[in-house]
Amino acid sequence: MGGAVSAGEDNDELIDNLKEAQYIRTELVEQAFRAIDRADYYLEEFKDNAYKDLAWKHGNIHLSAPCIYSEVMEALDLQPGLSFLNLGSGTGYLSSMVGLILGPFGVNHGVELHSDVIEYAKQKLDFFIKTSDSFDKFEFCEPSFVTGNCLEISPDCTQYDRVYCGAGVQKEHEDYMKNLLKVGGILVMPLEEKLTKITRTGPSAWETKKILAVSFAPLIQPNHADSGKSRLVHLPPVAVRSLQDLARIAIRGTIKKIIHQETMNKNGNGLKNPPRFKRRRVRRRRMETIVFLDKEVFASRISNPSDDNNNSEDLEDDRQEEEETKPSELKPDPPVNFLREKVLSLPLPDPLKYYLLYYREK
């Protein structure tokens, strides 16, 4: 068993491999994947496997393989300001990446069957907001999670621009899922062993595209044995931002523009030779196989027969490149959170500074 791409040593290397294998194809998706470290959503004792292109499950906690999430993110065609519904939101990893793209005026809701997983997701979300420097590079649409069975969503709920279901959908539930979409919206779900993209082109018109062969655990059917009644899931209301919150968004946006302009002026419009670092050679690992792992399967790309024949040449190129770059190799400076530094330098009361920084710890 193995992944569709080779394992990385860290989150950035995993993303490099996903890009090389054409699972990540757009800049917005790449930025979201790089901003959130996949290992942060693992339990501590399992983090050694975080950068492998494999699914992970422990009890009710589950993460799909990175290549699956990549295909989902690309298929959703996310844009700022859209509304998103994640059915089976799990750890919140996908919802948080989506929130980075939706921005402050989007809607980001999740439905999860297991209450313990909801608590886990909230802890991970809080950790990301309070500790990650990536948070300050984006205007975030924070996810809201509710507990319940996604097949029991109240019929009077609002419709969404984008919907993803993270469990296998049977044909009998296809129309139910479609009705969660606005006209022009996109639904991505595992339907009859295929990751499927459905676009609503009109009130009763649809376009369907099969993306990838997959095998997810099926949706859990509602159980009414206890009360005999349906337990309707009521999604969070679409709330209007408070004036205070709008002011924080505007101030942070203005400060970011100032920082960008200062950087441009300092670097001569940004035209500055970057330091030279050793380039990590990423080899294409394209296989004509299907990978099974814990009820999840994904297909790899088709290989080029000449790749294996070039391994010795690649090794020699790596050796020569390392020798050439070693004398001038520079270590990158630790990242600086310029937004945080600028806010802390403002002549403002401390409570206002902390509010502008979302009371973040770093």
DSSP 84-127: EEEET-TTSHHHHHHHHHH-TTSEEEEEES-HHHHHHHHHHHHH
Write the CA distances from 308 to 7, 303, 321, integer angstroms: 18, 10, 20
Residues 260, 91: Cα–Cα separation, whole Å? 34
Distance from C-alpha of 307 to C-alpha of 285, rounded to nearest angstrom: 8
Q: Is 204 marked active-site?
A: no
CB-CB contact of 356 with 252 (8 Å): yes
Residue 149 CA to residue 219 CA, distance in Å, equals 9
Distances (CA, A) of 152 to 83, 86, 144, 230, 252: 20, 14, 18, 7, 39
Q: Are 138 and 249 in contact (CB under 8 A)?
A: no
To which residue do tokens 């969404």 refer?
160
Active-site residue among 64, 95, 96, 134?
Answer: 64
Q: Which amino acids are annotated catalytic?
A: 64
